[in-house]
Each structure stands twice: as structure tokens, then as C-alpha cells.
């Protein structure tokens, strides 16, 4: 029953992770002068508009994933570099803010009397906190088509060789990392040693324990 509650909570939590992330991209791109997200119906918090089945399942199963990318046309930006950078970073910043807001709720829920309802609530709040951090860090990887690559585009010249390599092979590298992590996470249930080779698992650890530390430390002074 506990496992069922956890997966139910993780699916619900994704509404507070992937949807705000993509909406932030759309809103900031629109603010920078690009009407493309609005024209394509992406300037909304409607989860159906942002749904990507593979990214959704991956996030529910292993804690990182993606939604359907928001279409933008950088030619419409009032300032190309500023528009590209702020649009790329908007989703990550939004995820971090949500993690900050939900952390104290998570901590307060841990003190409630344990029953199925409070277990579901705790799992939900914990997933919102953890997934927002991991999705933020995951998206900062400089691999096409993640946000980190867009940040790299805003900060480098088109002929930069690193940028060209990551743009050409980023998707392949990303899929290999996702597959490797999935195999390790599933295989570790039978062969625990495989967890030591989960590359994206270390990204998740970094997100929660390093990137998440300022949030935990700040709220620790208050509650």
C-alpha cells in the first residue's frame, strides 16, 4: 500500500513540477517579445498542453524528466541574448522557488499522525520538493535540447566547438544517460551494486543535498 501511495503522490506532484517549468518558459519568452508560445496555446497552466508521455513516465519512475518543449522564435526577442538566456533559465528558477515554498510544508507534514492520508500528503510534498530540485539541475545539463544548452547558446558564439558538439550529439548523450540511469535504478533492486553506476542518480543526489541545502538551512533557522 505504501508503494501505491508513493506512486500516486509522485504522479500528482508532477503537476507542480513540469507544468510551472514550461509555463515559465512561455511567459518569459512572451515578455521578451515572442508571441509564439501564446499562439501555440502554451501560455497556460493547463497540464494537457505541456504533457509529454515519455518525460512524464521517467519523472514519475526515477525523479527526472521533461514536458513538451515550448516553441519559441528567438528572432522575435527584443534582445536576442537577454531573451534567450532569461527564457532558458526561467523554468529552472521557477522549480527552485517551488522547492523553497514546499519544503516547510514537507517538514510540517512529517509531524502529523501517521495514516494513509498523511502518508500520501508527506509523499506528495516530498516529491514536489525533490522533483523540482532534480528537474532544475537535470535541465541545466548543457545538452541539447535541455535548458542548459540554451544558456550555453546565449553565452557563446555559434562557431564555438563545444557548443557545436553538444548541439549535434547532445540528444544522443542525453538518451544514453537516461537509459543508463533507468537500467541501473531497476537493476539495483536485484543487484544493489548497480546503484553505484547510476550517473544521473548522482545528479539527483547533488540536486537534493547540495543545491537543496540552502533551502533546508534557511528554513531550518525558522521552523
Residues that are catalytic: 22
Q: How far apart are CA 46 and CA 50, in angstroms?
A: 7
Alpha helix (H) residue ranges in 75-207: 80-109, 116-139, 147-155, 161-187, 199-206
Q: How far apart are CA 183 and CA 177, in angstroms?
A: 10
Three-state DSSP state, 59: helix
Nearest-angstrom CA–CA distance, 160 and 153: 9
Nearest to residue 125, comparing CAs of 25, 219, 50, 29? 219
Amino acid at each position: 500500500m505504501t508503494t501505491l501511495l508513493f506512486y500516486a503522490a509522485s504522479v500528482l506532484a508532477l503537476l507542480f513540477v513540469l507544468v510551472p517549468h514550461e509555463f515559465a518558459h512561455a511567459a518569459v519568452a512572451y515578455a521578451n517579445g515572442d508571441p509564439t508560445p501564446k499562439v501555440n496555446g502554451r501560455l497556460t497552466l493547463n497540464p494537457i498542453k505541456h504533457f509529454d508521455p515519455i518525460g512524464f513516465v521517467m519523472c514519475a519512475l526515477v525523479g527526472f524528466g521533461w514536458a513538451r518543449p515550448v516553441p519559441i522564435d528567438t528572432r522575435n526577442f527584443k534582445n536576442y541574448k537577454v531573451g534567450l538566456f532569461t527564457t532558458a533559465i526561467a523554468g529552472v528558477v521557477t522549480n527552485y522557488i517551488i522547492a523553497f515554498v514546499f519544503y516547510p510544508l514537507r517538514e510540517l507534514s512529517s509531524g502529523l499522525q501517521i495514516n494513509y492520508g498523511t502518508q500520501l500528503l508527506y509523499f506528495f510534498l516530498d516529491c514536489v520538493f525533490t522533483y523540482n530540485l532534480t528537474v532544475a539541475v537535470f535541465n541545466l545539463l548543457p545538452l541539447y535540447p535541455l535548458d542548459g544548452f540554451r544558456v550555453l547558446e546565449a553565452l557563446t558564439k555559434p562557431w564555438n566547438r563545444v557548443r557545436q558538439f553538444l548541439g549535434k550529439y547532445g540528444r544522443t548523450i542525453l538518451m544514453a544517460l537516461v537509459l543508463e540511469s533507468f537500467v541501473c535504478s531497476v537493476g539495483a533492486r536485484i543487484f544493489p551494486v548497480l546503484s553505484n553506476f547510476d550517473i544521473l542518480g548522482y545528479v539527483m543526489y547533488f540536486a537534493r543535498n547540495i543545491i537543496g541545502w540552502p533551502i533546508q538551512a534557511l528554513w531550518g533557522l525558522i521552523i
